[in-house]
Each structure stands twice: as C-alpha cells, then as structure tokens.
Structure 1
C-alpha cells in the first residue's frame, strides 16, 4: 500500500506528495526480488514488484526508517573466510552498531539478542489495526531525539491488517494512510543532516486486501529514500529505475560499512554512490565503479564456491560470466592506476560489472527454479497406483468370499516389508535414512499385493470392462477433467470448468433416466387404458418431477457461481463483493439488510433440517441426540447470529461496551463449537433416533358392548349386531394374546426405523455446519444453504435411477459418486477459495481467539484447515447418503404382494395386500452387503477425488 501513499490520488494533499517533487535530495525506486522489475505509475511515484528471492538471503522485509554512518565511509573489507551461511542482522559485524527496533514481535524470534533496544508488540491478530502502530509512535520520536542509535527500524502493520480486515478501499484504509503520512512528516522533521530515511513496503495488496502471490498488485510497492543533505547529482528521472529487492542488501551494507552477505547476489544501487557536484563526473563514476566492483567480487566468490559444491549451473554460461568479470576487474585495476581522463572507460567498466551481476542473478534463478522430473514422476506414479487400487478393491469388494479383515492386514505386512528392505539397502550403501523415502517404500509395498492380483486377473483373460466398470459417459467426463489438467490455463479456469462439468453431468442424469425408460411422460401426452393393470416393475417416476429437479440443480449451480473469487492470474476479473465481511460495508442500511439475509439463511437451514426429521418422525424419540437437535441447534443458531452481529459492528461499539463486545466475541464462537462437539459426542454415543415402546403393560380400552335381545329381524339389526360380535371376538383374542405374552419375553415396538441411518448422517452434517459457518464470512451462509438445497435435489434425482428392490449386493452407481465429488469441488470455489496459498482465509485462525494462540500451532492450523476444506469435509461426511437415499425414497405401497399364477388379470390390489415400505430396514436385513456397499462407496469416492487432484 506504499504505492497508494505515493500516488497522486492519495498524496496530492499529503506531506509525502510534497516531497515527491524534483529535488536533488530524494530518490524513489522499486525493489523487487529475483527477476522482478519496477514499473512506475506516474512521475514522482513508483510501483514496486516484489518477487521472493530465489534462495534465503539477507533482505529488508519491513519498512525501515534507518539512520546510517556518514555516506563517505565506503571502505569495506570482505571476510577472509567466507561462510556458507548468509550473513544477517545477527552476524558479528552488526554487533558494533546500535540497532533499535520497534514493531511486531515476530522479529524477536527472527533475530534474538541482536537489538540494543527493542519494543515488541503482539501482531498475530490481523483484526487489530492499532496496537503495533500506536506502540511504535509512543517510542519513535523520543528514541530519534535521544541519538542513542545507529540504525532504527520501525515496522508498521496497521495498513497491512486493515487490508486483510476491510480491503484497500475501505474508509479505515484512508485513515491509516493519512496516519502514515503524518508519521513520515514527523520523522522528516526530526532528521539530521547525516541521516538517510528509507521508506519501503514489503509487499503489495490485491483488490481484496490479501497478498502472498505473484500478481501485479501483490508484488508492487515503492521504495522512497530521503535525506536533508543532497545525495544525488541531478533531478530524478521521469521513469524511476528498476531495483530488485535483493539489491537493497548490498547497497545498505556498503553504506553502513559492512561486508555484503556472502549468499546475496543482488546489485548495488549505483546512484547512491555518486558525487553531488555535477562538476565532478569522474569522481561519481569512480565511486560507482568501486561499489560495483566490491559487489562483483563478493558475487564472484559466492559463484565459485557454489559451483564447486553444486553441479546445477550451466557450464558454458558460468565460463562466460567468469571471463566477463575477469575482464572488468582487470580494467578497473588499470584505471585505478591512471584515473585521469578515463571517464568513458569507467562507464564501460560499470556496464560490464552490471552485466556480470545481472547475468549471475538470471543464471541462478533459472537453475534454482528447476524441478526434479524423476521425483515428480515417481510421486505421480505412486498416486496413480493408489487411485487404481481404489478402483480394483471397489470391484473386488462385491465378489463372493471377499474378506474385509485382510484388506487392512495384508497391505500393512507388505508395507512393513518394504520399509525393512529399503532401510537395509540404505544402510548397506552407507546412506542416511530418509523418512520420505521410507514412507514411499511403505506405500509401494502396500500396493504390490493388489497390483499382483490385478495382473493375475488380467492374465486369466478377464474382460477389461470387468476391471474398469465405469459407464462410458461418466468415464468421458473424468477423462475431460484429466485432460484439462494438462492445460496451462486450467488453474485459472478450474472453477468454471468444474461448474461446466457438473452441469453437463446433471443433464446427462436426466437424459439417462429418459433413455432407460424410468420416467413417465406428462399426463397431457398419456391416454388412459381401460382393462389393463399398471405394471409393478420396473418403477417409473414423474418426468416433469425429474426435469424440475434438474432445472433446480442447474439454477443452484449458477447461483453458487456468483460467490466467486478471481484467480490472481486474471487481473481483469473482479471477485464477488459478497465474499467480504459485513464489517467492510460502509452503508448501515445495506449492512442491516445483509445481516438479515444471513440470519434468514441460518433459520432456513435449521427449519429445513427439523422439517425433514419431523417428516420421518425422527424427532419423537427421547434419545439424547434428538433432544439436542430440538434445543441445542436453536442455541447454536442464536450464538452464530449474535457473533455475526458483534463482528460486523465491533468498530462502532461505544468505548464503555468494547470490553463486553470483546469478551462476547471470544465466548460465543467457543460456545457454538462446544455445543457442536457435545452434539457429535451424543450422536456417537446414541446414534439411533427411533421411538421404542414396550408392548406389555400398555393401557388398553375395552369395547363396551350394548345388550341385544332376540334374533335380528331386519337389515338394520344385522348392521348393528354383526359389528358387536366382531368386537367381542377381537377382545377375546386380544386377551388370550396378552396372557401368552405375560408368560414370554418382553417385546418392543420400534418406530422410525425406515430413516434410522440417514437421520444420523443429516444430524451430523447439521452439527458440523454451524461451527464451519463461523470460520467463514457472514454472507457465505447463503452458499451453505445452497449447498444443502443442491445436495437434496441431487440425491432425489439420483434416487430416481436406482432400483432398491433388485436382488444382490447394494451398489452406488459411478455417476452418483462423480456428481457428488464435482459438487464438493464446486462448493470449494463458491466459498471464496482458490488452490493457492494467497487465497487461504487466515482470519479463520482468530475466530474465538482474537488475541492469538500463543505458542500453539495446531489449533490455528486446525481452524484454517477446517475453513479451507469445509466443503470437502461436509460432502465426505454426507457421502453415505448416496447409498441411503434411494431406500429413504421408497414410497408407500411401492411393493405389493406377488399374485399367484392365474390371477394376473386382477386389475386392482386390495389395500390389505400392500406391504409397508421397508426403506432402510432392508440394509439391516443384509448387514454384510451393507458393509461392503459402504466400503465400495468410499473407495469410489476416493478414486474420483484422486483423478481430480492427482493428475
């Protein structure tokens, strides 16, 4: 954001803007790392491109305000014995300088015991805009006036945190930039003549306020140098110079009179080593040549040492650069002996030394950016074998005699054998045991028995279709997904490609139902046929209903696509504004409307789950998990809504209530997470949500019989007497049955068994949703509501094509698994994520922990991981619904008692001959098939995910 501070739009009426006028005492460059370059936005401002250095090197990352020794001190003695380790602030030459630091506490661990005086402030909370900045301002000016320092570093974090919290276009950002301008004005007023002010931004910022990638906005910042003493011989150039980030290190090292770090390959900023007077061009050229020669000597020593230790540099280019340095060095030594009248020769030496330094940097970057194709191919082959294993075992699981216990035991034995063999070979060769290599050998060993069995199956001339049973259309979609991964633009267009493939698969599912004759035509196009009974099998579904499900799915996919985040490689793309938190909305009315919509999504989600459970009567059970669904889920909704209200208006809270708001912001998310954990524990303890009633001792109402005397004389008497006789006989039989039961075991009547498994899965999903919602911004709740609706529609559409009454093992079709996996990937992008590190939502680590986690690392990693992979977590937990939902959709009277031969002409089946739908009780009747089906479903899901992420 330093570029914003130096641009005309922000600095026209600022103090820094007044400094950005042609004068000989200032310079502004843009440092970049590696092969980066600076492109200015306008005269007087710079646009810095920061690319991380190709290897660890001593570089100034923060914005330092540094005071240096007199600039005429250029005598630098290189270390007699170069150290392979990079010289940093903790090196012995710096110990003679009084280095004062004030800023974030991460420097305390980076450079322990280096600073003569330090003021550290907690900086881990990105929502805190003022703690670090206010702490620096409290000590900055008194420290400058004391004069007890040689280098003073002040690392301000308010602008960076403001970008993460509000974005670059929020009014809070304007306030922070104005504050930084006032800081620069105050520092300039306290500067002495022998002091150099260096203002630098360590990185840029995207339109969303994030950084860490390689987009133009993220790697663009500015470097501003100022001193009360004139440093430069003339007016600044109209187009500021390009300065790599690593070039700051040798420049500042020479200005401080320190040796350049041995591992640095930067190029000194030659303009800083010039004479001020225009009448001495020879002296300026000689000073620049001297600085560049010292710099080139250090780089040449590093290059010689590195090329002897590593063989990854190009030999031809290495010899060329060595000859270039030798020539320039010899010419420089000659000019030192006779410097008079050699200005043109000095310029030639300067040019050759700069070519040498830039050539070394380019060669090293090219070499260090090289990847091991052998290791990459080995990893890809290992993952491909794992995917193939999932495919094979998913087919073998349904074979007769397949043992589930050997599925775990055999791979473990072979894996341990592979580790032992690999360790023995490494020990015999005298090599170090590498845990990565041992783990890879364990994985390879565990795959060998399955691959051998697959090879044996192929040798028995089994058809390939038996080993690869994926339907043709689904296989085509997976192949398209596989082929798209080889495109260099797939990472940029992956979100759109996923939505396209999911929409294509939805259309394919609807068309497949029509092609297989599983849909009934609309009633407008059907003619009733008299005298014929409707066939009982196969079942057919309403065509308009299936078409409506498909249209609803496509609409949900399109709506979820509105919550998109643009990849950093597409600067022309604009991310959805709905991915920003409510606190970033300036208008109070708009904020209230969006808050109401988010709370409405929470209530709708809770109401939908409760209505679904009520429809299948799963809320009538007195089990603890059911009681928690009744009372715990509303409390979780209330806690989530209250936390969102506090988070969106925390900055607007009155001062007397800020402590209360801060405390509630800690308690509420922890309470919601605690309730969710308690609900999951209760569900694991008592997952069955059925209503069980004992039959013995149940109250019974006896029928009152009205006396009747004489024989019936009319039809009315018969209509009265016959029911009385029937009730009397019913009471007699019931009494005998109860007397027999009193002498036998107790019997229990259970209800809601038809949805016993799916109810537990839906409850678990609901309990997971609310803590995951807290880790996202408020408006993502609409995406989660779409997620549930989209899953519901897809499950109903998939259930229409599955026959649950056919004999044999239960199987989930491949098209169902593929659609489920694609929907998980699509939701990943709809929640504002991208598969790059800069797109990680780091704010999730501070939900419930605004002050940070101290020294703990696993908890923030868990929170950030849950935020990133929330969609995959939910779809993985809900994957069993693909198996359960067709049984759940079994309608009343879908199965009827078989008619004996000869009675096929009977057109109507009596109601008492209809069977009650067994639904999920069918799974209980065949537990082995149920277990195998779950195993097969999990392996299929892993295979489809592996195809998406592996290749």
Structure 2
C-alpha cells in the first residue's frame, strides 16, 4: 500500500510487502551467503534514501523454498526460484555411507531439484499445450544442459549454481513476456475496430431500405465499397507484416486488422446518392437508450458488476414498465389502455418471479442467499421445485394457446403441436431431472440395480426429447399446415336480403389468417424452447417458462402500441380529410399494409430480459457458475463435442430464447397481402414499380414500402447494436482497469461473456433469417398461393 492508501495498482509499494520467516526448531540461516550466490542486478533494489539498498525476492519464490524446506516436491506449475539464504548450510547427504554436504553443495543440490521441476514443466507445456514457448525451447534447452554438465564437474559448484539460476530466470522472463504482458496498442486497436463496427452497423441501418428514387437499396453499394476497402486494407496489412512495421504484431493480426479497418473505412467514407448522411439521435431516442448506456457505464465499477443481477431488474423497470404505464393513461380507447396495462403488469410479475432465482458470487459474501440450488454447498435442485416440475410441463402449453387465442389463431395443427407434441417434450425434460434428483439423493437408499435402471431411463428420456425437438423444429414443422381453419359461410344475411334472380355464391371464411405468420413461427420457437428446457436444471426450467410468457407479453405490448399508433394516424387522417379535399387512392395504394413497427423500449426490454434469464437460470459472469452437469444430458459419459454444446446451450439458454423470439415483433398479427396485378411478376418487382410511381406523384415526401425482411433486418441490427455498445464500453473499462486488483476475477470474465454474446446474437440473426422465417413464407405460399407475400 502506498502513502495514499492505494493497494490495487502495479506500483512498487502496492505490490510489495515485508517478508519475515521464523523457525522454532533451529536457525534458518547458519552461514552468511556469499556474493556469488546472488544476482546483484535483480536481487537488490534501491529504495528511498531512508531505506537504502534492500534485498528483494519474488513472491513465487516462496513456493519452491517452503516445499524443499518441508521435504515436499515443488508444485508442477510454479516458476519460482529457491531463496538461497535458507539452503546455504551444512546438511546430511543421502549417500551410503552417510556424509555431510558443504553449504555450497547443499545450495547446488537444491537448485538442481528446482531446475528439474522447471524443466519438467517446460517439456510438458511445449508438447501438450499451446506452442507459444516452442521458439524459445532451443535456447532454454542449452541453458539447462549446461547447468547439468557443470553440476557433474567437481569443483565447479559456484558456476553450476549460477547456470541453474540463469536457466530459471530465463524461463521466468520468457514466460512473463508471452503470458503476463498487456499490449495496450492492440487493445486500443480492438476498441477502435469495435467503435468502427458500431458506426458501420448504424450506417447500414439507414441504408437497408430503397430510396424513393432508386430500386436498389443503398446497402448494396455500401457492401461493394466495403469489399473494395477490405481488399486495399488486406494489401496494406500484408505489406506492413512483410516489412515488420509493427514488430509486436504477428502477421495474421496485421492482415486481420488491415482488412477490418479497410472494410469499416470503406463503408463509412462512401456516401450513396440521394441518401441522407448521419444524423444525431433525437432526445427521445437517447432517453430510451439511457438505461442501456447506464448498464454499460456500470461495468466500470467492480461493485456494480458483482451485483449486476440485482441492478438489471431495476433498469428494465425504468426502461420499459414505467414508460408503458405512463403512456397507457394517454390512450383514448379504454380497451387498448386496459390491454396495455394488463400485459405490462403481467410482464412485471414475470420479471419479479424470475429475479427470485439466484446464485451467489464469491464476492457477494453473506449478503446473498442461494435459491437456485437446495443449499449453498449443494448442486441439486430444491425440494419445492421438484413437486412443481410435472404440473409445469402439463400446464405450460396452455399459455401459448391463450396468447394465440387472442388473435383467434389457435387453429389447425396448433392443438396437436402445442397440446400433444410440445407437452410430451416438456414432460420428458421434467422426467429427466426428476430421475436425476432421485439418483443423487442418497437418503433414499436405492439399490444398485435400481440406480442402474434409473440411469438407463434418464438416458432414454433425454434422447427421446432431443429427437422430438429436432423433428418438431424441422421436418414436422414444414409438413404441417399453417394454423388456420376454413369454413364455408352463406353469403345471405338478414341485413342483406337476397334479390330476385340473383344467386350469390357461398364465401370461405379463413379463421386465423390475421396471425398466420406469427402462429407458425411460434411453433418453431417452442420446439427450440424444448431443447433449452431439457438442458436446464429444474429451477431454470421454471425461469425459462416465465421468460417465454414475458416474451409473449412483450410481443403483445408491441402489437398494442402499433394499434395505438394506427388509431392516432386514423384520427389524423380523418381530420385532414375534413380539412382538405384529397384525391382517391388507387387500388395498389389501398392494398399497402404496414409491417408492424417495433418500439425501441420493447427492444430494450428484450435486451434486459436476456440478462434476467441468464442470471435466473443459475449463472453469473464467473467460471464457477458454469453448470457442468448439463454436459451429461443424454450422454452416458462426457463427450468432447456434444458435452461442450450442451453446456453452451445451458449457459446461454436465456439469450438464445430471446434471440430466436425477436422476429415475432415483426410477424405477430401480420397477415399476408395479395398481389392482384400480374401473378407472374415477383412481388419485389411490383413493390419497386410502386415506389417509382410514388416518386412521380405530387407528394414532396413520398413513402417507401419496405418489405418484411428489410424491417426484420433493421430490428435485428438495432438489437445487436445494443450489445455492441455495451461491449464497447466494457472493452474501454478493461483497458483502463487492466492493472486493477480484480481484473481477472471480475472484469475479464465479464468481457468474455459479452464477446460470446455478440457472436451468438450475430449467428442467431443469420439463422432466423435463412431458415425459420423463409420456411414460414413457404408454408404460407403453399397454403394460399404465390400471389400472397409478406
């Protein structure tokens, strides 16, 4: 600790302490140590004038010193050197007949044992682990062999000891240079690349839609500019690696950095024609993003990071619940107001129940109580949740049915898929953990034969659940029709009496048509939910179930907000119709329907809900919270690949569920539209032609009709940018606090978590666009014909 009380930095006074060793049996030091046994450049340090020249030792030198003094082997991974003062004394030898070793011989023998342990570590590391020490292995081998040769020569004890010390200090210096060295330049480059990628993503947001004067979205030109810049950056990176412009950066890093910088600068420097430049976000947008920014800024505090699971609940309340409640009182229609308040309250209730599931970090101490496990020292589920497991699996399918019933889209195969197949998957997931609970409780005194039978049942149930989930999310989901019912109704009604001689044909009533996309996609989502449900422990299963309800609440809230906006737009248009005379709309313009927009508050709610589910399923940003038990689900023993996949699904189940559910914000209560023009013409061509027709109109601000894929991509980019912003702030704080006492215990694991999250969400964004969303469109076209499109 220095004079100011600082103790977490890397200054000498902050990392140094006094060493005092005492023995109750015999003196630890018998003879004064000769000068040749010390390295006068490294063993002494010039301090302030009042202290003078002082003998110093490294902290890691205590381990081999104490080990040999106690007659124990030196730990394998220690790279310290013995403290010579304690071994320069006369000791008995192990030879026959016994004799005494001189102080110099005793010191050399101890140094030889120390070097032997270091040599074993070096050989093992270079042969089985990473190869970062391989380039230094020849030099270190020569130093060790020279020390062995001198040790065998009589009368060369001093030179031999100095050779052993040279080998030990060289290995330690080389290892420190490779492993324990911060590269601020590379860290700054990484932060710069992250900032540029965030700016590139923001620019893509404004360029993914066609402009009123062009048929091609500007994003195509941006991608070409990015490829050109990337090629130039790759060339520059290769040249800098060849001439070794930056010696501390390897060639591969030079190429990657050059390519990334080239792509980013190429996109940012290119300005499409007839397209606006960057605009400063409005105050409303910044206000909605304030909780996310606050979350990122809080990662610069170790106390905030430790208690992040508690803080996130308050942030999501500020970002979503309170604004929705305040907005509800300004809704003119009571039905919409009550609907908004109901789903907001149900969402808040789910969050509160999710927050009750906790696991504790070591730093939280006694102020945290574990509820995810049965006790602090147990890895088994609490007793109360086991009695809730089967009722949960039976009752959970009722909730999607209720949400689909709001739009009258619980039709067709929905009753079989949700009520039978999905319920069977959930029962398998519950049965697996019930069987595991019974086997792990030794108080039941089960026989070995019964335990073996239970293990077989557990393995079979897990594999059946995996098969059903994969089958339900792929082949069966494609084969099944969309969730609709078709009824034939008579066109004659009391209000419209039938005229003489007129034969009116009966009409077909399609029930569930209004939410045909959302109901079909929800079937895929719950099939994926079944896999996450299986690999999650019982309390986590309850949390994931509440998370699914919370997601559907957010989807309904977003739909309600769209209804409110539509109501206000209709009021505004009614006023304009009365005030001015407008020309009637043509047929094509009247058929344009608006893809549901997504309020930024809803996306922020999805953002924080992912963290709530992460913490609620028994995880923290620590390695100790990894649930390795999940790696054995459906496996008789650990597998190198599948166990890692299962543990990954268990750890990030909440974020995976949120990422897969994101498209529901765009396709919920979205019905297909029909192309009444030319059926051989693609819908995209018809849309583009309509956009050109709009540019020729007298409207000075023509609107562009954006496709479902375009708006979904926009939503995904905004959602990913929230995590990218958080990761950027996290990287800045890791750079600033790289010498902090808790950098490896708190800040570094948090950075690793967020890096994996960003890659995971990027992958999920591509996945849902390529597979389930396109499959839903295929199912709709197969049912209604190709003239219907999203």
| Band the TM-score falls in, shorter-chain normalisation | 0.5 to 0.7
Aligned to 2:393: 602
Q: 1:281 to 1:796 in 2, by over 3 A?
A: farther
SS at match of 1:750: strand
Asked if the contact 1:411/1:447 (under 8 Å) is kept, the reply is: no
Asked if the contact 2:397/2:419 (under 8 Å) is kept, the reply is: no
1:561 matched to 2:364: no
1:382 matched to 2:176: no
Aligned to 1:579: 373
Aligned to 2:580: none
Aligned to 2:433: 644
The 5 Å alignment of 1:8-27 reads none
Which residue, out of 400, 404, 412, partners 1:613?
404
TM-superposed deviation, 1:775: 1.2
Which residue, out of 285, 290, 309, partners 1:495?
309
Q: 1:881 to 1:292 in 2, by over 3 A?
A: same
Q: What do the CA deviations read for 1:325-384 (whole angstroms, capped 9, x no partner)?
A: xxxx9xxx99999xxxxxxxxxxx99xx99x99999799769943311111111122122
Aligned to 1:717: none
Task: Determine the C-alpha separation between the residues in 2 that align with 1:402 and 1:248.
Answer: 76
SS at match of 2:362: coil
What is the TM-score when the length of structure 2 is the normalising length?
A: 0.60
Asked if the contact 2:226/2:265 (under 8 Å) is kept, the reply is: no
Q: 1:508 to 1:694 in 2, by over 3 A?
A: closer
Asked if the contact 2:87/2:107 (under 8 Å) is kept, the reply is: no
Aligned to 2:206: 395
Which residue, out of 615, 635, 660, partners 1:877?
660
1:447 matched to 2:264: yes
Which residue, out of 545, 550, 553, partners 1:793?
553
Aligned to 1:139: none
TM-superposed deviation, 1:875: 0.5
Aligned to 2:520: 760
1:825 matched to 2:611: yes
Q: What do the CA deviations read for 1:294-344 (whole angstroms, capped 9, x no partner)?
A: 578899999xxxxxx99xxxxxxxxxxxxxxxxxx9xxx99999xxxxxxx
Aligned to 1:707: none
1:265 matched to 2:80: yes
Asked if the contact 1:581/1:778 (under 8 Å) is kept, the reply is: no
Asked if the contact 2:425/2:468 (under 8 Å) is kept, the reply is: yes
Aligned to 1:868: 651
Task: Determine the C-alpha separation between the residues in 2 that align with 1:486 and 1:749.
Answer: 59
Task: Determine the C-alpha separation between the residues in 2 that align with 1:262 and 1:479.
Answer: 42
Q: 1:862 to 1:441 in 2, by over 3 A?
A: farther
TM-superposed deviation, 1:790: 2.5
Task: Determine the C-alpha separation between the residues in 2 that align with 1:301 and 1:583.
Answer: 39
The 5 Å alignment of 1:38-49 reads none
The 5 Å alignment of 1:918-937 reads 928-937=706-715
Task: Determine the C-alpha separation between the residues in 1 that align with 2:560 and 2:469.
Answer: 33
Could you list the runs of 5+ residues in structure 2 that have no partner in the other structure?
1-14, 20-58, 121-131, 134-150, 570-592, 672-703, 730-790
Q: 1:497 to 1:566 in 2, by over 3 A?
A: same
Task: Determine the C-alpha separation between the residues in 1 that align with 2:657 and 2:331.
Answer: 31
Asked if the contact 2:517/2:669 (under 8 Å) is kept, the reply is: no
Q: 1:668 to 1:408 in 2, by over 3 A?
A: farther
Which residue, out of 654, 658, 664, partners 2:457?
664
Q: What do the CA deviations read for 1:608-652 (whole angstroms, capped 9, x no partner)?
A: 123333454434325xx7643343112212212221221111255
Aligned to 2:291: 477
If you compute each CA radius of gyration, which structure gives the higher value, 1 or 2? 1
Aligned to 2:330: 518
SS at match of 2:638: coil
Q: What do the CA deviations read for 1:390-442 (whole angstroms, capped 9, x no partner)?
A: 22222333462473572785267336524651465257538998444434443
Q: 1:688 to 1:792 in 2, by over 3 A?
A: same
Higher relative CO (Cα under 8 Å, sequence separation at least 6) belongs to: 2
Task: Determine the C-alpha separation between the residues in 1 that align with 2:171 and 2:238.
Answer: 42
Aligned to 1:464: 279
Q: 1:375 to 1:936 in 2, by over 3 A?
A: same
TM-superposed deviation, 1:761: 2.9
Asked if the contact 1:266/1:361 (under 8 Å) is kept, the reply is: no
Could you list the runs of 5+ residues in structure 1 that have no partner in the other structure?
1-34, 40-241, 303-308, 311-328, 338-348, 521-538, 704-722, 742-746, 889-925
Asked if the contact 1:775/1:844 (under 8 Å) is kept, the reply is: yes
Asked if the contact 1:519/1:541 (under 8 Å) is kept, the reply is: no
SS at match of 1:558: helix
Aligned to 1:486: 300
1:681 matched to 2:474: yes
Q: 1:421 to 1:634 in 2, by over 3 A?
A: same
Aligned to 2:686: none
Asked if the contact 1:690/1:750 (under 8 Å) is kept, the reply is: no
Which residue, out of 700, 719, 734, partners 1:941?
719
1:849 matched to 2:627: no
Task: Determine the C-alpha separation between the residues in 2 that align with 1:252 and 1:827.
Answer: 51
Q: 1:687 to 1:427 in 2, by over 3 A?
A: farther
Residue correspondences, number: 572
Task: Determine the C-alpha separation between the residues in 2 that align with 1:868 and 1:586.
Answer: 17
Asked if the contact 1:410/1:446 (under 8 Å) is kept, the reply is: no
Asked if the contact 2:65/2:81 (under 8 Å) is kept, the reply is: yes
Task: Determine the C-alpha separation between the residues in 1 that align with 2:547 and 2:240.
Answer: 50
TM-superposed deviation, 1:732: 5.1
TM-superposed deviation, 1:678: 0.9
SS at match of 1:812: coil
TM-superposed deviation, 1:275: 5.3
Q: 1:837 to 1:687 in 2, by over 3 A?
A: farther
Task: Determine the C-alpha separation between the residues in 2 that align with 1:396 and 1:584.
Answer: 53
SS at match of 1:519: coil
Asked if the contact 2:229/2:266 (under 8 Å) is kept, the reply is: no
What is the TM-score when the length of structure 1 is the normalising length?
A: 0.51
Task: Determine the C-alpha separation between the residues in 1 that align with 2:394 and 2:377.
Answer: 21
Q: 1:281 to 1:669 in 2, by over 3 A?
A: same
Q: 1:264 to 1:403 in 2, by over 3 A?
A: same
The 5 Å alignment of 1:314-325 reads none
